[in-house]
Structure 1
């Protein structure tokens, strides 16, 4: 039975990961712009994919100040992952897998606080995907140094226990409880 995988991100990363996927007889849908993930998912329909691999995207960081550059990076980069994930989750089959691969900023604008902030946002993205998908979908967050082989192994659920690739694991909090807490905060502050 073929495995259908949705892969989004920078074209060069997609090419590397897709090559490994196709070597494992997977069918791959490639989307090189996060803004186009909803259209690809709508075209594929519900329960179309066994896995979604959300790789780092490529875009030029804009702005003349550090604040402007960081704002642009978060809005057009990190936060752009949320609408893409929102579209991808309903297109996953029961038992599907989501793998989010983090990326790093250039050294001149990356600080320890920024690294922690990005990790936190990737965990929030993963928790939100898990909350919407339910316990039948496995969600992983991998670091930017993960190889194409590690990404595919996580995406297909073939990770070796001797080679952990996850930089973050989701907490033991019930996803239903997490979602209720999140929605409770929204209603209190609205």
Structure 2
């Protein structure tokens, strides 16, 4: 897998289920704000609703940070609606659920499991310039944590605003950062 860090998202257009409607979403919608493309294997499964529900529970926090969430699977937008209507967990979702039945978007992010026609658990954080800043890919049985994703986004936003600093491991908003310099080499 090639590194996607600092690369631009490839152009796409797709139908999504969002707030009771089918809407069009494109790569242009990602520009000018922070975005998360959150790929998951399939609707009506097991780990996926726990992840999407966790994102829904933290959605207000993402929105306060100016971050839009886009969940993506190879299901259709009709399947997204049916899942939203039938699951208490998925019914909480307020972010767009992108349908990628052709698998083109999933392939462009290099998370397609070709033999299954499903996406790996891929998380891509995209900055306001449309460039990928964070990539996380988990195997199918390992769920992701929305709070940890939010922590990473806070760090990415801080670094964008303060390009001469870096955030150390486990950095939390408000904590000390590091200013890389020759004087700091070997002293951490």
Q: Which structure would you say has the larger RCO, counting Cα contacts within 8 Å and 6 or more residues apart?
A: 2
Answer 1 or 2: which has greater strand percent.
2
Do both proteins adopt the same fold according to a TM-score greater than 0.5, normalized to the shorter chain? Answer: no
Give the structure-1-normalised TM-score: 0.30
Higher helix share: 1
Q: Which has the larger Rg? A: 2
